Structure 1
Amino acid sequence: MSLTPRVHDDGRSRLMAYDHGAHLATWELDGEPVLWLSEAAVLDGSHAIRGGVPICFPWFADGPDGEHSPSHGVVRTAVWRPATAQGEEIWAWELSHTDVVSAPGADQIPGPFHLRYAVRLSPSGAGRPVLHLELQAHNPGPSTYEVEVALHTYVAVGDVEQVQIEGLDTADYLDKVTGSRRRQEGPVRLTGETDRVYERSGPVRVQDHAGGRAVELSPRGAAQTVVWNPWAEQAATTSDLTDESWRRFVCVETAATKEQALTVTPGQTRTLGCSLSTHPVGR
């Protein structure tokens, strides 16, 4: 059975989301995708949705010890409860630890939690809409714990081999493909399978020369930026990617992982968010 999408039209923008994973699947601006969604995405609730902005919580990938499962945590395949939208919010959702007690991996949750996630649009000074994403993680329990969190944003591009990512120059990063630690020199250009965790969180601009625009991501509440693309060989072995789809996106993720994970004390709420805006390419 197919999932039922939520659709919102707002002037130049069209957004689509699902309660499955509180997943913002698409954002189109003037009919062109800003967020990429795979043509082969599974939309029946049996898997995480490939594309858009998956939410990773309470661990990222296979966790800080490399032994957590399922990949990227238990909430991206959970059915979230719609919450009352506030202010400019288009949609909001909530999820608690009690909602995922029977999910695979629930025994690895570090403590009780309550999440609230919201999507909103606002106009920019240049007349272009800005998309805002915000995840709040509350600890209602008696003990402090740490959680890994990421907004796994798939940015749509014309050709990833012509993309240039600015804002990470001189940042140290872990290259998860080679297992080495390096320092970025100049803008990021992708020439093969890429999986890097940069120790920097600040405005990052994806210069999409083939697509004729730039997409800027401005994070909040995180210490890291992840850049990921599987490239041709990995895409060919991934069932919800088509052979050439790897060319059409680059993931630029607002993240807090490993040593930079979020510490949440009893009664505390930690917030991680990201805003996305479009600009003329090269500016």
Structure 2
Amino acid sequence: MSQHLDALNHRFGVSGQVKFKPGPGGMDAVEVTNEHASATILLQGAHLIDWTPKGEKPVIWTSPEAKFAPGKSVRGGVPVCWPWFGPHPTYADFPAHGFARTVPWEPIAVKALPEGTWLAFRLIPTDATRTMWPHATELVLQMVIGKTLDLDLATWNRGNTSITIGDALHTYFAVGDVRFAKIHGLHMVEYLDKVDGGARKVQLGPVIIDREVDRIYLDTPDTCVIEDTRFARRIRISKQNSHSTVVWNPWLAKAAAMGDLGPDGYLHMVCVESANAADDVVTLAPGGEHHLWVRYQLEPI
């Protein structure tokens, strides 16, 4: 094990509960195991790639064919999209969904709690990130690993001028078979259909995945629920300070072209992303802060 990981274990490790170690592809990771759940988080992107409550199947899906390499996004888990969502509005060569998911973060605090394990990570700015985002901004992701998974993505404007951000927790949820799943909570909500050139439409009834779906649901502060009949469970997605919900599944043809989803990976995942995107970006005055908070919880059907 590297001296860097040894130092992290000395400072932040919790015996029998939190261990820093080489993860997939040799990437630095933290492994969490407590009486409620287990989880794995990569230090690149503070990217959670697994959360499995005790006695349950995994709730967070990471592709069996995901590629793990420095500076490259990982297919699955909970990628952090920040400080913009989708393509950059001005510079087409900037990375889609920002740079937060592909750069190093540092742990800043770890604590064992009765309800689980609390960890906090801070994005480490570099010359490359400052070129794309020349603002004095601090980004911290806090998470509690327990029977529920709580995530709090916090942005502070440390500068003297206002900034505008888009952000999202681009979560891949594991389902038994997406063709037999339904997403509740978006009935009568207007959305942008990116598969249909961004046309504005209105959702009627639950969202059914039976083709490529790529939608930004607008003005959606409420809870969504994934009803997964094949795994006989519901995944409840509660949130605060998120006014967009993105639903995405690439379906067969696009998944085959992506190269890291596997032959049938698209059948076993669906992204339901708590976001501030499109019409719902966030403007922060100097000294302002924004917390995108979510809680994921399993319920039996």
TM beyond 0.5: yes
Counterpart selection for 1:265 from 285, 294, 300: 285
CA positional deviation for 1:110: 6.0
Residue 108 in structure 1 maps to residue 128 in structure 2: no
Structure 1 unmatched ranges of 5 or more? 123-128
Percent identity, please. 32
Distance in 1 (CA, whole Å) between partners of 2:45 and 2:267 is: 25
Instruction: Please name the residue that 2:43 is paired with.
Output: 19
Higher deviation after alignment, 263-272 or 66-75: 66-75
**Structure 2 CA distance for partners of 1:192 and 1:66, relative to 1, 3 Å:** farther
CA positional deviation for 1:81: 1.1
CA positional deviation for 1:113: 0.8
Instruction: Please name the residue that 1:131 is paired with.
Output: 149
Counterpart selection for 1:53 from 60, 78, 86: 78
CA positional deviation for 1:274: 0.7
Answer yes or no: is the 8 Å Cα contact 2:109–2:120 preserved in 1: yes
CA positional deviation for 1:67: 3.2
Instruction: Please name the residue that 1:126 is paired with.
Output: none
Answer yes or no: is the 8 Å Cα contact 1:110–1:147 preserved in 2: no
Instruction: Please name the residue that 2:269 is paired with.
Output: 249
**TM-score between both structures, scaled by the size of structure 2:** 0.86
Answer yes or no: is the 8 Å Cα contact 1:171–1:184 preserved in 2: yes
CA positional deviation for 1:62: 0.6
Amino acid at match of 1:137: T
CA positional deviation for 1:14: 1.0
Greater helix content: 2
Answer yes or no: is the 8 Å Cα contact 2:221–2:244 preserved in 1: yes
**Structure 2 CA distance for partners of 1:277 and 1:66, relative to 1, 3 Å:** farther
Distance in 2 (CA, whole Å) between partners of 1:100 and 1:78 is: 9
Q: Deviations over 1:128-178 (max 9, x none)?
A: x11100011001111001001000011100011111000000000000100
Structure 1 counterpart SS, 2:179 = helix
1:1-283 matches, cutoff 5 A: 2-29=26-53, 30-64=55-89, 67=92, 69-85=94-110, 88=113, 89-96=117-124, 99-103=125-129, 106-109=130-133, 111-122=135-146, 129-179=147-197, 180-199=199-218, 200-281=220-301
CA positional deviation for 1:24: 0.7
Answer yes or no: is the 8 Å Cα contact 2:244–2:277 preserved in 1: yes
Q: How many residues align?
A: 271
**TM-score between both structures, scaled by the size of structure 1:** 0.91
User: How large is the Cα RMSD of the aligned pairs?
Assistant: 1.7
Distance in 2 (CA, whole Å) between partners of 1:265 and 1:87 is: 34
Amino acid at match of 1:74: F
Distance in 1 (CA, whole Å) between partners of 2:51 and 2:145 is: 11
Distance in 2 (CA, whole Å) between partners of 1:90 and 1:6 is: 12
Answer yes or no: is the 8 Å Cα contact 2:211–2:251 preserved in 1: yes
Structure 2 unmatched ranges of 5 or more? 1-24
CA positional deviation for 1:45: 2.1
